[in-house]
Structure 1
Amino acid sequence: MTPQDIASRDNPLIKQLRALAHGNTAYREQGRVWLDGDHLCRALLARGGRPALGVFTAAGWDQADDTLQGAAARNLRVPDALMAGISTLDSPPRMGFVWTLPAVAAPDAQAPSVVLDRLQDAGNVGSILRSAAALGFSQVLALKGTAALWSPKVLRAGMGAHFALRLVEGLDAEALQALQVPLLVTSSHQGDWLHRTALPWPCAWVMGHEGQGVSEALMQRASAFVRIAQPGGEESLNVAAAAAICLHASASARL
């Protein structure tokens, strides 16, 4: 299929793409996301997703294989300078996709989950999504105040993990009452040591704000508290590192 050529930065569609690529919450208004570069695009296809739109530079189109050229029902070809204005990458890519977000109405009450309680750092959120997807947790539930899950920075940090997960955001703590799996909360000063704990499956691990930790409301709902051994004497771990340790412990306990 021959792509449509667009050369004007004032084209309405190009303006929409720039908004998606640069706005943290523009995806909520448009119901779709911009996937910046070959890696995210191929990650979407590997999970069976199909983009609504493909955007290529001239060189990108010429070098794209049949899988990439035929992935979307519609393709655009734009000058390098126009792609540079859309992309947020330091080195503008030769292609990107626009993907329509799946409709997710409510949490799955029985799914192995990770709960994000007001995490602020996009890198931490994306890293936790990667750990969740890699270690068998199929759902991530983000409470209000957490970095936007489909924002450009979280998408980049997630490296394609988004497409393997059920993602629900903007939740109140009360929404977790519907979960039918144990709620496990990490704590630096109470609970059993992680390496000595019989971990339930499925479960929901709660990861708290980088500075304030897990909220008191969620602490009161916890089924169990777990501590991570830190023989080096540090006061606490980065939340993404703590999540990876806890999720790996759950995954290992199932083997």
Structure 2
Amino acid sequence: MSAPEVQHITSRDNAFLKDLRRLAQDNTGYRKQGRFWAEGEHLGAAALARHVTPAIGVFSESFWPLAPAKYAQAAIKSIVIPDSLFAAISGLESPAQMGFVFDLPLVAALQPVMASVILDRVQDAGNVGSILRSASAFGFKQVIALKGTAALWSPKVLRAGMGAHWGLQLIEGVALADLALLAVPIVVTSSHRGSYLHQAIANQALPMPCAWALGHEGQGVSAELEALARLHVRIAQPGGEESLNVAAAAAICLHASAATSLVG
């Protein structure tokens, strides 16, 4: 295997750095470029652990001499830039000093029988990333993002997902009509309607595999999507809160399905 190409760039007007800045700071920039930016050792290690090869490695000048070989040699090409330029590109309060540019995965076809999560206009990047992490942890390997949901490969969602992206099949910009392709039952979370989750578990009424539908932070799941659901479920809250954060609700519901399948 030949040694990776190493290029030193010092001009902030360099075309590659301009593109990288857009990837790092524009939530939907990856859609135009067909690539996305993952900053920091944690995300890089998560990708490499799943044998995902980055297109380009980017390192600050101060970190480059210290970079472990697994990062320095991960991509065919590595770019080294002054610390000040890396800080100007970084989306972090404390720049990580390294990151990778990855080619955006090819658009996957919706898998009808795969355990899935449907995101219905979930807009907060932190919530979306957290849901992706729970989906990966609990065996829901397909995430279907309806139109209006936060950009799945944006830097903020990537950071919140903490590496979960590389264990999932992600499908963006899905229309409600496309859900007709699903062969698994849709289960909708609600704060006011349906069986309580613990009752569904006790009655063995929780289907698996299934597709959990999680809705907009304020409006919840749309009426049109609710109409497609086979089961409506709410989470008991004996402490008296009106509702749960959508990411917290997702973790509870996805864990319940996973636990049910393990027991069954």
Q: TM-score, normalised by structure 1?
A: 0.98
Name the residue aligned to 2:159.
Answer: 156
How far is the alpha carbon of 1:191 from its aligned partner? 1.4
Distance in 1 between the 2:126 and 2:108 partners?
26
Q: Which residue of 2 aligns with 1:183?
A: 186
Deviation of 1:85 after TM superposition, in Å, equals 1.2
Of residues 83, 86, 95 in structure 1, which corresponds to 2:86? 83
Identity %: 61
8 Å CA contact 1:3–1:75 kept in 2: the answer is yes
Paired residue for 2:72, among 69, 72, 85? 69
Cross-structure match for 2:33: 30
Helix, strand or coil for the counterpart of 1:221?
A: coil
1:214 maps onto 2:217 in alignment: no
In structure 1, the partner of 2:100 is: 97
SS in structure 1 at match of 2:227: helix
Which letter does structure 2 place at the counterpart of 1:236?
A: S
Q: Do the aligned partners of 1:104 and 1:166 also contact (CA within 8 Å) in 2?
A: no
Q: Extract structure 1 runs of 4+ deviating beyond 4 A.
A: none
Match of 1:241 in 2: 248
CA distance in structure 2 between the aligned counterparts of 1:241 and 1:151, rounded to whole angstroms: 21
Q: What is the Cα deviation at residue 53 of structure 1?
A: 0.2
* Displacement after TM superposition at 1:152 (Å): 1.2
Contact 2:108 / 2:169 at 8 angstroms: preserved in 1? no
- In the aligned structure 1, how far is the partner of 2:236 from the partner of 2:261? 21
Q: Per-residue deviation at 1:107?
A: 1.3
Q: Please, which runs of 5 or more residues in structure 2 have no aligned partner?
A: none
> Which of 9, 12, 16 lines up with 1:9 in the alignment?
12
Structure 1 residue 189 displacement after superposition:
2.1
Answer whether contact 1:60 1:94 (CA < 8 A) is retained.
yes
Is the Cα–Cα contact under 8 Å of residues 27 and 33 in structure 1 kept in the other structure? yes
After superposition, give the CA deviation of every residue in 1:1-23 in whole Å (9 maximum; x if it has no partner): 35211000000001010010000
In structure 1, what is the equivalent of residue 238 of structure 2? 231
1:92 CA drift (Å): 1.2
Please report how far the alpha carbon of residue 190 of structure 1 lies from its aligned counterpart in structure 2 after TM superposition.
Answer: 2.1
Secondary structure of residue in 2 paired with 1:59: coil
AA in 2 matched with 1:216: A
**Of residues 179, 192, 196 in structure 1, which corresponds to 2:195?**
192
User: How far apart, CA to CA, are the structure 1 residues paired with 2:240 and 2:47?
Assistant: 41
Mean Cα displacement is larger for which, 54-63 or 156-165? 54-63
Contact 1:36/1:96, CA 8 A, preserved across alignment: yes
Q: Deviations over 1:120-154 (max 9, x none)?
A: 11111111011001111101110001111111111
The one-letter amino acid paired with 1:250 is S
The amino acid that maps onto 2:67 is: A
Q: Structure 2 CA distance, aligned partners of 1:170 and 1:156?
A: 21
Q: Identify which of 21, 41, 44 aligns with 2:44.
A: 41
Letter in 2 for 1:209: H
TM-score, length basis structure 2: 0.94
Preserved contact between residue 108 and residue 170 of structure 2 (Cα < 8 Å)? no
